[in-house]
Amino acid sequence: MTRNVLLVSLLAVLAKSACGEDRGKILALTRGTVLAPEDDRLLVGQRVVIEDHCIADVSVESGSAVPQGAAVIDIEGLTLLPGLMDLHSHLLLHPYDEADWNDQVLKEPLEFRTIRAVLAAKATLEAGFTTLRDLAIEGAGFADVALRDAIAQGMIPGPRVFASTKAIVATGCYGPDGFDPRWEIPKGAQVADGVDGVRKAVREQIAAGADWIKVYADSRRRPGTSATPTFSAEELAAIVQEPKALDARSPLMRLPTKGSAALCWRVWPQSSTIIGPPSKSSH
């Protein structure tokens, strides 16, 4: 019980620091166990000094004195881990056993989803994740940019967020779907077609604050079918060229099929990050 209480207290202090309170002060975590930077050994009796939200020093406890004016927390018996990174997350979504994806996108108000995401960001930080790449907001506007900026400005606690705003998809290749085709249903991503259309979408997302551009390079066209490429080589080339021209990060490609992956690799062998294959319910 004592270990758990101490750990919770430590996380609370670090979360408070990340939120901007006590900015500029020095925190010394003493008598802890840390991972050796050069291998997988555990080093016992270490002191970690944090200054201005950065690790300033890691040294043996019996070495130099604690910096003057530092707040000291004794973490003897606990192991400090480096900040974890979640490179595929969706702060604006919550578990599908609570509400399915269609209902979250179409029925939950943006304000409610954003408030829930604030709580999710805090929980993510307290779980040990200090960096998070949010891979598309699934119909929630540009709320991930607002979350990123609020965290960076110390308004709310959370990990460092890299936002990708809206994924780019071709017409007829993303949900919500399954509705009467007479009705135009809002989508969970930005629909764009043609070289000019995808280039415009990239420009809009970068202007809105995107750190990464996410594009679904292939998709299932109707229920029960396999995924096939949805963008031409020219369209995909434009998606990659535009961020380069604006000095932004290369697009992150979701490529469920080998054919599409081969297509993208042929166009730009070193300019995009490729992930996949996704699970059936993955977004």
Residue-wise pLDDT tens digits, 80-101: 888 899 999 999 999 999 999 9
Question: What confidence score (pLDDT) does residue 90 get?
Answer: 96
Instruction: Say what the pTM is.
Output: 0.77
Measured N-to-C along each axis, helices 194-208 and 233-245 cross at an angle, to the nearest 10 degrees, of: 30
Pairing of strands 214-216, 190-191: unpaired
Question: What confidence score (pLDDT) does residue 25 get?
Answer: 83
Question: What confidence score (pLDDT) does residue 123 get?
Answer: 96
One pLDDT digit (tens) per residue for the chain, 283 residues: 334 334 433 444 454 444 445 556 899 999 999 988 788 889 999 999 988 878 888 888 776 778 888 899 999 999 988 889 999 999 999 999 999 999 999 999 999 999 999 999 999 999 999 999 999 899 999 999 999 999 999 999 999 999 999 999 999 999 898 889 899 899 999 999 999 999 999 999 999 999 999 999 888 888 888 888 999 999 999 998 888 777 655 555 554 444 444 444 444 444 444 444 444 445 6
Pick the CATH number of 84-275 from 3.20.20.140, 3.20.20.450, 3.20.20.70, 3.40.50.1970: 3.20.20.140
Domain assignments of the chain as residue spans, ordered by start: 2-80, 84-275
- 248, 278 Cβ separation under 8 angstroms: no
Question: What confidence score (pLDDT) does residue 263 get?
Answer: 43
Question: What confidence score (pLDDT) does residue 101 get?
Answer: 94
Q: State the SS3 of the chain.
A: CHHHHHHHHHHHHHHHHHCCCCCCCEEEEEEEEEECCCCCCEEEEEEEEEECCEEEEEEECCCCCCCCCCEEEECCCCEECCCEEEEEECCCCCCCCCCCHHHHHHCCCHHHHHHHHHHHHHHHHHCCEEEEEECCCCCCCCHHHHHHHHHHCCCCCCCEEEECCCCEECCCCCCCCCCCCCCCCCCCCEECCHHHHHHHHHHHHHHHCCCCCEEECEEECCCCCCEEECCCHHHHHHHHHHHHHCCCCCCEEECCCHHHHHHHHHHCCCCCEEECCCCCCCC
Q: Which fold has domain 2-80?
A: Urease, subunit C; domain 1 (2.30.40)
Question: What confidence score (pLDDT) does residue 276 get?
Answer: 41
